[in-house]
Amino acid sequence: MQKMKDIMVVGFALFAMFFGAGNLIFPPFLGLVSGDSWITGFTGFILADVGLALLAILASAKCNGEVSKVLGRSGKYLSIVLGCSIMICLGPLLAIPRTAATTYEMGIMPLVDGFNPIIFSIIFFVLTLVLTIKPSKVIDIIGSFLTPTLLIALAVLIIAGILNPLGDISHTPMIDNVFAEGINQGYQTMDTLGAAALSTVVIATIVNKGYKDEKLKVKLTLQAGIVASIGLCLVYGGLTYLGATVSNKYGIDVVQTSLIVNITSMLLGQPGKIILAIIVGLACLTTSVGLTSATGQYFTKLTNGKLKYETIVIIVCIFSAIVSNFGVSTIIKFSAPILSLIYPATVTLIILTLFGEKIKNDNVFKFSTYMALIVSMLTVANDFNINIPFILNLPFAQYGFNWIVPVVIAGIIGSFIKPKKSNKYKMSKAV
């Protein structure tokens, strides 16, 4: 009974840490542009978000929650560069500032117009710092107290939208490839990157609860991940449907943060703004706390304790407070190419880590990862109008997975080249 309670608390906390700024604004917009194909878009979103995040949790659990071990077999220097890039994106550059900016735009402005954004960002990150400074308490605070309130508020909004649809769903999607758009929106949540990092916090909590056995730690982490994934699927489905019900009311140029505010206001009136403020505040604060803690733990381990956890957390909070004042739209705009660059390499390493015990040759990891980065760089260059036509003609390009076939080929080639030295990272056996 105690074990089940621990799994639920950790699973709820993981759900709340995943469910942040992007998770709240992307699904309604996806439903809006998808129209009556919203289930197709939702499927792509779930695959790129929940599906990959669950794989990342398992891969990280096999490496005892250490991101460096998930990335390690790609090579010493590349793993450090990639790891730092992931943690900086999840940390002060993109994800954490976006939580504060979203809370301000969706939770504060509709209720208190004219509230100073700088003052708000200071308040938000002081709260984050207070809740993060003791890493062993992070999960219990979120899972036991904050998440249940968040789930109740979300349920009120989604059930209201199902019982009283806001309009007829458009029969014509506003975009050409709904499934690919779902994948792209799933990327934007950064949950796959977050999963590998947040597993550090989760496993630390599991150990503090008395579970020391390696197999048991992997099993409990995976079970907590499944609890979080079920919750995410239900909430995402509801939010995507809400967006679809206003597909005849708004255009593709709608501001994403304004969309969910307007939906809530139409469904629940003035009380809806208060409910939305609670949802946004809790969702973004829990994510900010989890990611700040994960960033602190990563760089503390990377520097062998030379940089103290408390020092890193303070720096992250200060820098994030500054970046958050740029606004959600600006943060999303410059995050897209960065995520497109590092996502394929990260996903490649996550999947290879799941089969790490069967892959004896480290060159499989190295060749695959470098190929993923090369294809990603060419794809991003293409997005910036540097014409590289063949990159768009690779298999699965229309779904955003043009890197898969080149990565598989590179991995096969790597398997025939003898490595200079064997893998030094030990992984726990999956359950």
Residue whose C-alpha is closest to residue 283's, from 2, 3, 6, 19? 19
Residue whose C-alpha is closest to residue 89's, from 194, 196, 200? 194
**pLDDT reported for residue 427:** 52
Amino acid code (one letter) for 45:
F
**pLDDT reported for residue 430:** 42
Q: Within a 10 A sphere around the Cβ of 118, how many other Cβ atoms?
A: 11
Angstrom distance (rounded) from CA 131 to CA 125: 10
**pLDDT reported for residue 126:** 93
**pLDDT reported for residue 317:** 94
pLDDT tens digits along 325-355: 987 777 777 777 877 788 888 889 988 988 8
Q: Is 2-339 assigned to CATH 3.90.1560.10?
A: no
Per the CB < 8 A criterion, the answer to whether 33 and 185 are in contact is no
Residue holding tokens 């003035």? 270
**pLDDT reported for residue 431:** 42
Mean pLDDT by 10 residues, the chain (431 residues): 78 76 83 91 89 84 76 85 83 85 85 87 92 66 68 86 90 86 79 74 74 76 85 91 91 83 86 82 82 86 88 93 85 76 87 86 92 90 77 80 91 87 51 42
**pLDDT reported for residue 407:** 94
pLDDT tens digits along 252-277: 888 777 888 888 888 888 888 888 88
Tokens, residue 167: 């309009």
Distances 404 to 122, 310, 372, 394 between C-alpha atoms, Å: 43, 40, 8, 9
Distances 56 to 65, 225, 326, 349, 350 between C-alpha atoms, Å: 10, 10, 30, 9, 6
Percentages helix, strand, coil for the chain (3-state, rounded to 5) are: 80, 0, 20
